[in-house]
Chain A
């Protein structure tokens, strides 16, 4: 998985609770991304980071925030989880060849 780990791998939570997903890379790459994957929608970008403390919104950023205090870690937070945020979340990194590599994913179920 190109030196990318995600934690937790599975999570069940209740509506209204905060949730933080972690992405960790060992490649020292500058760019990191959070996507969600849903049936009928494919993969869609939530947020991305182009350096420590440098982040920007993607296509489906509402209800999500991110932080990057170290090169190796990119955190995705759902401040108050909703059922519509039930999804599979993938982290990705971009290498020097402009290609993106994905982590194993986190399956989140919001009840």
Chain B
């Protein structure tokens, strides 16, 4: 079993839809959870960071961490064509160590 599993998609939604992106993981020691957005031929851009469990909201984006289920989610409200990108989840068990990434979910938002 891979440490971090993420459905690669592609996921296609109409503009204005609510998007749910998810990752599951196997290492219960993970404490730091991140979501990155990556546009084609660009570097990953940090979207959300959560330490341990709980929810975090930033504008149209909400990140949730459920450590009991080893499951993290990213919700995008009122999705826009500019949200079309690949979304990567990442996590680590100790500050300063390597991030373990999911393989990314490709999202396409049509106008």
Alpha-carbon distance between A40 and B2 when the two chains are bound, in angstroms: 13
User: Knowing A42-B88, A97-B49 touch, does A102 contact B96 (C-beta < 8 A)?
Assistant: no
* 16 sample A-B contacts, Cβ–Cβ < 8 Å, listed by A number: A31-B96, A42-B103, A43-B101, A90-B43, A94-B95, A97-B49, A98-B49, A98-B51, A98-B96, A99-B34, A100-B46, A100-B99, A101-B46, A102-B43, A102-B45, A104-B43
User: Knowing A97-B49, A99-B46, A103-B43 touch, does A42 contact B102 (C-beta < 8 A)?
Assistant: yes
A88-111 to B contact mask, C-beta < 8 Å, 1/0: 001000100111111111000000
B99 to chain A, nearest CB (A): 6
Q: Using a Cβ–Cβ cut-off of 8 Å, how many residues does chain B contribute to the interface with A? A: 21
Alpha-carbon distance between A45 and B91 when the two chains are bound, in angstroms: 13
The answer to whether B49 touches A99 (Cβ under 8 A) is yes
Chain A residues near B36 (CB, 8 Å)?
A: 102
Q: Using a Cβ–Cβ cut-off of 8 Å, how many residues does chain A contribute to the interface with B? A: 24
Alpha-carbon distance between A31 and B36 when the two chains are bound, in angstroms: 19
Given contacts A102-B44, A103-B43, A105-B43, 9 further A-B contacts (CB under 8 A): A43-B88, A44-B101, A94-B96, A98-B32, A98-B49, A100-B46, A100-B99, A101-B46, A102-B45
Nearest B residue to A31, CB-CB: B96
Alpha-carbon distance between A97 and B101 when the two chains are bound, in angstroms: 19
User: Knowing A41-B103, A42-B88, A42-B103 touch, does A98 contact B43 (C-beta < 8 A)?
Assistant: no
Alpha-carbon distance between A38 and B56 when the two chains are bound, in angstroms: 30
B33 to chain A, nearest CB (A): 11
A33-59 to B contact mask, C-beta < 8 Å, 1/0: 100000011111100101000000011
